Structure formats: C-alpha cells, structure tokens
Amino acid sequence: MAWTWFHRLGSSPWVYRFSGTLLRFLLPLAIAMIVLGCIWGIAFTPPDFRQGNSYRIIYIHVPVSVVSLAGYYVMAVAGAVSLIWRLKVADMAMRVAAPIGAVLTFLALLTGAVWGKPTWGTFWVWDARITSMVVLLFLYLGVFALYEAFDNKTLASKACAILSLVGTVNIPIIYKSVDWWYSLHQPASIKFTGESTIDPSMLYPLLWMIVAVYLLYACLLLLGLRVTLLESEAKTAWARKVVMEVK
C-alpha cells in the first residue's frame, strides 16, 4: 500500500540504489541551475542604483543563508524520525546534515562579510541577524562535537537528535530577531505576503538560485548519506559488492 515506501527506507541496499538513481538526475540539474543562475545574476540583471554591482553577491548570500536555516530543520526532523521510528537512514541523514549545515552557515557569514565591506564600510557588525547566524553556526558545531565526543555511536546519534530538537527552539528566535532589534541590517526584502521591495528583474534570478542551492543541498545530503551507508555496513555483502564494482 501507500506506506511501503516508508518500510523500504529501512533497507540500506534499497536506499543506496534509490539515492543513486535520484542523484543521476538531481546532481546535473543542481549544477546546471547554479551555473545558469550565476550567469543570470552576474550578467543579465541591472545594477542596483545605490549599491552598483556589489549587490550581486546576493545571489549566493541569500540562498546559502536560507538553506542553512532550513538545514537545521532537516537535521532536527531527521533526528526526531530516528528517535521515534529508530530508522537508521534518518539517523545518518541527521549526522550528515550537521557538517553540511555548518559549512553553509559559514558561507553565509563569509559572503555577508564580503558584501558588508563595500556597502556598510566594515566586514563585521554585531547586528541581531548576523549574531543569530553565528549562534546557528555554533548550534551546528555543538551537534557535530557532541557526536564526536561519544565512543558509542548509537548513543551519540540519539543524544544529537535530542540536542538538535532542543536547538530548534532557537530557529524561530533567529527569524524573529529581525523584528526584535533594530540595527544596521536592512529589513527582509522578500515578503511572502504583500509587495516585495525587490524588483522582479532581480527577484527571479534570486528565487532561481534559492531553488538551485536547495537542490545542491539535497545532493550533498544524499552523497554524504551514501558514503555513511557504505561505511557503517562495510561488512555486509551488498556494500562489498558495490565497492568492488566501483573499483
């Protein structure tokens, strides 16, 4: 019936094969979309009347910021699924999501700093939203560090699942912080309700890039998942067969 897909997730060889098929389409699509989106953003959008060309980093900065925040939810939901249904795949997804999310958050901070220099005149401002992103980075690093601290990896992933669920409390505060504290950072430009304050000619490539980075995130997650699957089942026949075929 409709729920059989869920039970299949319990079978490592099936997940490995399925993710392989999925990646065959997703990975080229993600790469193509990112390349096209970058060209679109750099060459075919008008310069900003105040920031000139420097604003174009928005096509990297905003997508990685959005996905790094969403990535925490992916991690927490995967953690919850692994706690509730003891699903090994969810457990691995959570583990893989932590470093990917940390790198994306770091990229968001880095591109923000690069963008901040020409527009605000400084690399770093202790603004509410930037601070929240630093907090997010440490939340990711905390999950990563907690996992590494345990020798017993079954315990480690359970503890990490709890920690990431507790950490989800902070994500709404990150979003809300924009409203809580007024500072140098401009208010959010994309609004889901009401008029956007960004011109459509700049908005469409931005939305395109957000979708592209989401796809890239999915690909990275799947790639990491496949490696972890092979690693943790290195002694089984199917994993040996896969590795031998690649050789």
Selected binder of another protein within 33, 139, 220, 230 (CB under 8 A): 139
Q: How far is the CB of 156 from another protein (least distance, A)?
A: 10
Q: Is 125 in the site for another protein (CB under 8 A)?
A: no
Q: Give, in order, the Cα–Cα distances in Å from 37 to each of 30, 151, 206, 244.
A: 10, 43, 8, 38
Number of helices followed by number of strands (H, E) in the chain: 9, 0
Choose between 40 and 150: whose C-beta lies nearer to another protein.
150
Interface residue with another protein among 9, 165, 203, 223 (CB under 8 A) is 165
Where helices occur in 121-199 by DSSP H, the ranges are 128-149, 153-167, 170-180
Report the distance separating Cα 37 and Cα 30, nearest Å: 10
Cβ neighbour number for residue 175 with a 10 Å cutoff: 12
Q: Three-state DSSP class for 48?
A: strand
Q: Which is nearer to another protein, 55 or 72 (CB)?
A: 72
163: contact with another protein by CB under 8 A: yes
Q: Rank residues 120 and 138 by Cβ distance to another protein and give the closer one.
A: 138
Interface with another protein by CB under 8 A: which residues?
Answer: 83, 131, 135-136, 138-139, 141-142, 145-146, 149-150, 152, 155, 158-159, 162-163, 165-167, 169-170, 173
